[in-house]
Amino acid sequence: MSGDETNAISDAPRALLDLTLEELSAWIKEQGEQGFRSKQIWGWLYQKRAKSFDEMNDLPKSLRAKLTTAFRLFPGEVVRHQIAKDRTEKILIRLNDGEHVECVLMRETSRNTVCISTQVGCAMGCVFCASGMQGLKRNLSTAEILQQLLLADRLQDADEKITNIVVMGIGEPLANLPGLLPALKAVQSEESLGLGARRITISTVGLPKKIRELAQLGIQYNLAISLHAPNDPLRTKIVPTNKNIGIEEILSAADEFFEKTGRRVTFEYVMLSGVNDSAENARELAQLLSGRMAHVNLIPMNSVEPLEFAEPSQVRKDAFVSILERAGVPATIRKRKGEDIDAACGQLRLKEKTVVALEVK
């Protein structure tokens, strides 16, 4: 990035999403405007899906002019937009510093789920994942997390609404709780999207201290732990951070989360053909989780270039589920969404960075 581009970013107006409703109310008061204007603006931002200040047509033109001078609506812009045959939509957002992040809108018959990211890149190093192939750059701000939800919201038809949020995109969510938690609090407000905590799922590679910190809040978020293996030697090969943690400590923290919130924990398990999908792996996983209030979400490997991991056969997947269920451990195979686009987490960002690198050369 050139010096001119860096200066342009630093001189850019503040994003409106950086403000809480209370901060916006204080700004409105400073401008000599009537107090109710802040809730009008908030409604346009969160509920009426405004894409510009000019669209806020019940505000005086003078106030819209002030807003345009003082703020940008979002702290980034959509630079790529893909739509799959099943109407899954994925957007790539370029942030003010030139970095990129992804989010996905997934449609089902009775719900629309948005998958959001929390970091630029990832430090966890899971061997099958595109998100961390170029390392961790930085945490996202609360405004950068919120804009993913609101930009995805604006992809919907007038009669559609976001019903669920999954924090399963690029990055490790629990490594950025200061950015994430205020964003989730904001969308639960009736003045915004009005989503209850039980409609929000936070995924983690398994950071016990942070799981316990989340548990202490007592908020009934859903917790999904990316386990991917039933023993430490295999998990450490798949998830390198496990070397300094261990499955036992992760399960202990998960048990505490259940005790504090009453919410069943989901264990995610990406199935890698010939790596962690054997009958013995399934029996070991069943023994590990037996007696716990848990659910296993099996995720068939989504092909990622240049990685060589593959999805197991349907016979092998079905056998794995059968072993778990016979042992009393509920399990499902996640339905694949957006299969005909860059659906795997981090793929679109990785492709964009590759294109930019080639253009620079």
**Which sequence positions are flagged as catalytic?**
102, 345
* Token pair listed for 330: 């509920």
Of 278, 325, 275, 319, whose CA–CA distance to 301 is shortest?
A: 275
The span from the CA of 130 to the CA of 117, in Å, is 13
* Token pair listed for 182: 């205020």
3-state secondary structure 229-246: CCCHHHHHHHCHHHHHCC
Residue 27 CA, chain-centre distance (Å), reads 30
The span from the CA of 322 to the CA of 332, in Å, is 10
* Token pair listed for 256: 């505490």
Instruction: List residues bridging with 103 in a β-sheet.
Output: 91
Amino acid at residue number 56:
M
- Angle of helix 247-261 versus helix 208-217 axis, rounded to 10: 0
Neighbours of 55 (CB within 10 A): 13
The span from the CA of 232 to the CA of 358, in Å, is 39
**Biggest alpha carbon–alpha carbon distance for the chain:** 70
DSSP string, 256-316: HHHHHH-PPEEEEEEE-TTTT-SHHHHHHHHHHHTTSSEEEEEEEPPP-TT----PPPHHH
